[in-house]
Structure 1
Amino acid sequence: MDDKRIIELVILYCKDELTASDCSELEIWLDEDQRHREIFRDYLGKYRKVRQTVFYDTLDEREAWHRLTRRITGTGRKKRIMRYYPYVASLVLFMVVSVFLYMRGGMFSGRDVITVEPGSTKAVLQLSDGRCVRLSADSMMSLQEVNGVVIRKGEEGGIHYLESETAGESVLNTIRVPRGGEYYLCLADGTKVWLNSESELTYPVSMGGIFRDVRLKGEAYFEVTGNESQPFRVTCGDSRISVLGTKFNIMAYDGQKDVVTTLVNGRVQVFASGDSLILNPGEQSLSGANGIDVRKVDAGIFIAWISGIFEFEEMSLGEITGQLERWYDVSFVYTDSSLREITFTGAADRHRPLNVVLEMIEKLSGVRFELGKEVITIYKE
C-alpha cells in the first residue's frame, strides 16, 4: 500500500466513512510493523501539546493503542470505529499525515530546491510618544510609559504591562507583528494575547476606563481576565466582540470578507451591521457588512497555531497558501486558478522549513511546487 492510499484510509476513518473493505486494509497496515506503534506513542505526545485536553493529558499510551486496534479489528468494525471516533480521529490523522509525508526524509527528492525557513518571534512596539522598539525572543527590556506604567520582558516570554496604582491617564500602545513573525504579550489587566503573522493590536497601557477596548487587524488568540464591571471589547473593522472573561480566537486580515471569531470557552457577544448574537464554546461567527452567521467547529483547529501547528481540515489550497505566505514571508503564484479550490486535510509543524509542508501538500493534493527564494509557483501535477 502506498503512502497516499494510507492517508486516504485515515481520512475516511476520521469522517466515519470506512467500508468493510477499507477497514480490512487499515487493519493490515496497523499490524504489519511494530514501528507503527512507536509512531503512535511519539505522535500521541506531540498531539497532547496541540489539543491540550484532559483526555490526552491522562490517556495511557499502551491502553490507547489497544483500544484503537480493538475498535478497528473484529466484528462490527464500523460501529466500533464510530464510537471511538471523537477521541482519536484527529490524532490518527495528524500522526499518519505527519509521519508518512515529512518524517521519512527525502523532501523534494531529486529536485534542486531552496530551503525556506519558518517565521520567528518578532514585533515592533510603538509607544504613546511615537518611539518604536524592536522586539524579539531575546529582547531584554524595561520601559516606562508617560503615565507611569512599566513594560518589561515577561516570565512567559513577550512583554508584560505592570499596572501602577499611581498611573495617570491611560495612553495607547500599538504592537505590529510582520510577515514571518509571531508575538505574545500580557496586558495590564492580566489578559494574555498571542498575535499571529502580519497582525496589529492597539490597546491602552492601563485599564482604568468603563471598557477595556482594543483594536485588532490580523489574527490573535485572547485569554481575557474576567471583570464583570469592565467588559473587554475587541474592534475589527465593522465588527466588535464583547466579553467579560473567556478564551477565543479572532481572524480579521485586510481583504477578508468577514471577521472570523472562534470561541474556546466562556461566552462572547458579537456585533456587526446592527446585528448581535452570543457565541457558545465550539461555535464560530462570520461577521461583516452582511450581518452575522454562526457555525459549529472544532475550536482546537483554529487555535493550533499558538502551539506551533498548522491544522487544515477540508481547507482550500488558496486559504492554506494564504497562511503559509504570512508565516514564511513568501508569495505563491498559481499557473491555474482552479488549483486554489483543491481541498486538503492534514497537519504540519509550523517550525519546520516550508519545504516539509509543501511536500505533504504535494502528496495529497495533486499539485507541484517550484521553490524560489521568495516566490513559489504552483503547477498541476
Structure 2
Amino acid sequence: MDQKTFDALLERFLSEDLSRDEAEQVLHSLEDKDMRSQWQAAITGLLENRQLHGLSDPARRDAVRKAILAKKAPVPIRKSPLRYLKYAAAAAVIAAVALVLYKPGRQETSLQAGNVPLAGQVIPGGNKAVLVLADGSQITLDTAGNGTIARQGNVQVIKLDSGQLAYNPSGKAGAVGYNTLATPRGGQFRIILPDGSKVWLNAASTLRFPNAFTGSEREVELSGEAYFEVAKNPSMPFRVKVNEMAVQVLGTHFNVMAYPDEPGIRTTLLEGAVKVEHGSKAVQLTPGQQVQLTPSGGMSLEKDVDVEEVVAWKNGYFHFNRESLQGVMRQIGRWYDAEIAYEGEIAPRQFGGKIERSSSVTEVLKILELSKVHYRIEGKKIIVMP
C-alpha cells in the first residue's frame, strides 16, 4: 500500500467514513508488524498537519485511552512526551475503530466534516457547506478548523467544536454585510445567527443573512429547506423570504421546504405562530399546521400534519408517510448526491417507512423492493425500474 493510499484511507478513517469492509481491512493490516509501523508513521504525519478528528474533547480522549488499554494497542511508552502523545493518538484511532467508527449491522457510517468521498460512489451526506462572506471570499466549512474563521467589523465568525457556525457580535454593529451559507447535494449544516436564532440547513440549500441585525426587523432569504428556531424579540420580527413568499414570526419553531424541483413551497409550524404571506394573500398558522404555496400562486392549509415526518431530516432520518415514488427519490438524490433516472413504465405508488440517513443507499432503497420496484446503481446514478 503506497503513501497516497495510506493518506486517503486515513483521512476517511478520521472523518468516520469507513465501510465495514474497509474497517476490517485496516484491522487485518495491523496484524502485520511492518504494516502497523507504516500505519503509525502515516498517522503521525497527518497529526502534524491537522487536529485529530473527535479527540479535542478531554472526555473523548480519556474514553479512547481506555479503549487502547482494553485492546492492548502498542504504544511506545519510552518516547518523549510529545512524541508519545502522537503515537498514542495514532494507536487510539487504530484501536478504537470498532468502538468509535463502526456500528454492527451497518455497511457505512455517518459522514462527518472533512470527508473526501470516493469518486463514483453513492454514499450518505454529511456536514458540508461553503460560507460566502460579504466581500465575496469563500470558506469551505467542512475542512476549516474550529475557532474564529473570519472577522467582519465587530462580528466574529466562529466554527464551534460541535461543527456548527456561529456569529458573535461585540460592541456596536458597524456596516452590515450579507453572508451566504450554501450546502451542496449530500451536505447539511447548522448555524447560529447573530441574534441567537438557530437554523438547520438541509442539502442543496442556501441561506442569505446579514452579519448583524439592525433596524425594525430581521430578514433572511432561503432556497431549499431549513428548520428554524427563532430567538424571541417582539420588537424586531423575524422574516424568511422564499422567492415571492414570506414567513413572518416573532419567536417560534418551523420548517420551510422550498426546493425548485418540488411541486410547491411548504411551511410547517411546530411551535408558536407564523404568518405566511404571498402577494395580497396571508395565512396564519398554529402548531401542527402546514401551508402549501403552489407554483401558480394558490395557497392551501393542511391541519394535523405529521410534524415528525416533516423535520425527520433534521433529526437524522428519512421518514416517508404515503410519499410518492418520485418524492422518495428526490430526497434520496439530494442526500446521496445521486442522479435519479427511471426506466420503463412504473405505476404510481406510495411508500412509508423510517430509516437513518446515515444508512447505506441500498438499505434505504429496500423500501422500494417491498413494493416490487427495482433499481440498479451505475456509479452515482440510481436507475429505478418496474
TM-score range, shorter chain: 0.5 to 0.7
* Pick aligned residue for 1:123 from 104, 118, 129: 129
* Pick aligned residue for 1:300 from 301, 308, 323: 308
TM-aligned CA distance change 1:227 to 1:374, over 3 Å: same
Question: How far apart, CA to CA, are the structure 1 residues paired with 2:107 and 2:310?
Answer: 30
Question: How far apart, CA to CA, are the structure 1 residues paired with 2:208 and 2:323?
Answer: 30
Aligned residues: 270
Asked whether the equivalents of residues 116 and 355 of structure 1 are also in contact (C-alpha less than 8 Å), the reply is: no
Asked whether the equivalents of residues 115 and 355 of structure 1 are also in contact (C-alpha less than 8 Å), the reply is: no
Question: How far apart, CA to CA, are the structure 1 residues paired with 2:105 and 2:176?
Answer: 54
Question: How far apart, CA to CA, are the structure 2 residues paired with 1:126 and 1:116?
Answer: 27
User: Which secondary structure does the structure 2 equivalent of 1:160 belong to?
Assistant: strand
1:327 aligned residue: 335
Unmatched tracts of structure 1, length 5 or more: 1-102, 108-113
1:60 aligned residue: none
Question: How far apart, CA to CA, are the structure 1 residues paired with 2:165 and 2:189?
Answer: 9
2:385 aligned residue: 379
RMSD of equivalent CA atoms? 2.1
Q: Return the structure number with greater helix share.
A: 1
Cα deviation, residue 116, structure 1:
2.6
* Pick aligned residue for 1:291 from 290, 293, 298: 298
- Comparing 132-141 with 354-363, which one deviates more in the overlay? 132-141
- Runs of 4 or more, structure 1, over 6 Å off, are 103-107
1:74 aligned residue: none
User: Which secondary structure does the structure 1 equivalent of 2:309 belong to?
Assistant: helix
1:309 aligned residue: 317
* Pick aligned residue for 2:363 from 336, 341, 356: 356
1:265 aligned residue: 271
1:208 matched to 2:214? The reply is yes
1:65 aligned residue: none
Cα deviation, residue 104, structure 1:
7.7
Question: How far apart, CA to CA, are the structure 2 residues paired with 1:242 and 1:181?
Answer: 27
User: Which secondary structure does the structure 2 equivalent of 1:133 belong to?
Assistant: strand
TM-aligned CA distance change 1:212 to 1:337, over 3 Å: farther
Asked whether the equivalents of residues 121 and 380 of structure 2 are also in contact (C-alpha less than 8 Å), the reply is: no
Question: How far apart, CA to CA, are the structure 1 residues paired with 2:201 and 2:143?
Answer: 14
Asked whether the equivalents of residues 181 and 198 of structure 1 are also in contact (C-alpha less than 8 Å), the reply is: yes
Q: Any idea what the Cα deviations from partners look like across 1:207-260, whole Å, max 9, x if unmatched?
A: 122110000000000000011000100000111000000000000012334210
- Comparing 244-253 with 204-213, which one deviates more in the overlay? 204-213
The AA in structure 2 aligned to 1:180 is: G
TM-aligned CA distance change 1:168 to 1:104, over 3 Å: closer
Question: How far apart, CA to CA, are the structure 2 residues paired with 1:357 and 1:162?
Answer: 39
Asked whether the equivalents of residues 201 and 227 of structure 2 are also in contact (C-alpha less than 8 Å), the reply is: yes
Question: How far apart, CA to CA, are the structure 2 residues paired with 1:234 and 1:195?
Answer: 13
Question: How far apart, CA to CA, are the structure 1 residues paired with 2:163 and 2:105?
Answer: 33
Unmatched tracts of structure 2, length 5 or more: 1-103, 109-119
The AA in structure 2 aligned to 1:362 is: E
Quick one: percent identity of the two aligned structures?
36
Asked whether the equivalents of residues 261 and 284 of structure 1 are also in contact (C-alpha less than 8 Å), the reply is: yes
User: Which secondary structure does the structure 1 equivalent of 2:314 belong to?
Assistant: helix
Q: Which structure 2 residues correspond to residues 1-381 of structure 1 after superposition, within 5 A?
A: 116-136=122-142, 139-288=145-294, 289-296=296-303, 297-339=305-347, 341-363=348-370, 365-380=371-386
The AA in structure 2 aligned to 1:247 is: H
Question: How far apart, CA to CA, are the structure 2 residues paired with 1:295 and 1:323?
Answer: 22
